[in-house]
Amino acid sequence: MGKDKITLKFPQPKIILLEHNSNSPNEIVLELDFGLRGKIDFTVPTVKFLEYSIDELNAQRMVILLPLYLLKLRRGIEKAINQGTVRKNAQALKDLINDNILKAIDENEKAGHIDSYDAYVLAGLVKKLYDHLYGNIKEFEEEGVKSALEDMLLVDYEEEIINAVSEKALEVALEVALEIATTLLGRGMSPSEVADITKLPVSRIEKLQLQLVPV
pLDDT tens digits for range 34-83:
999 899 999 999 989 989 999 998 888 888 899 999 999 999 999 999 99
Burial of 3 (0-12, 13-18, 19+ CB in 10 A): exposed
- The two beta strands, 39-48 and 27-33, are antiparallel
Q: For residue range 186-206, what is the model confidence (pLDDT) as tens digits?
A: 888 888 888 888 878 888 888
* Centroid of chain to Cα 27: 27
Instruction: Fill in the amino acid letter for 152.
Output: M
Residues in Cβ contact with 135 at an 8 Å cutoff, skipping those fewer than 6 apart: 146
User: What are the Cα distances from residue 158, in Å, to 152, 167, 168?
Assistant: 9, 14, 15
In this prediction, residue 95 carries a pLDDT of 92
* Confidence category of residue 96, pLDDT binned at 50, 70, 90: very high
* Confidence category of residue 215, pLDDT binned at 50, 70, 90: very low
Contact in structure between 30 and 12 (CB atoms under 8 Å): no
Delimit the domains of the chain by residue range: 8-50, 51-165, 166-212
- The full 3-state SS of 4-46, as one line of letters, equals CCCCCCCCCCCEEECCCCCCCCCEEEEEEECHHHCEEEEEEEE
DSSP summary character for residue 113 = S
SS3 60: coil
Q: How far apart are CA 129 and CA 213, in angstroms?
A: 47
Burial of 105 (0-12, 13-18, 19+ CB in 10 A): buried
* Confidence category of residue 2, pLDDT binned at 50, 70, 90: low
Residue 46's φ and ψ, nearest 5 degrees, are: -100, 155
User: What are the Cα distances from residue 155, in Å, to 12, 63, 158?
Assistant: 39, 21, 6
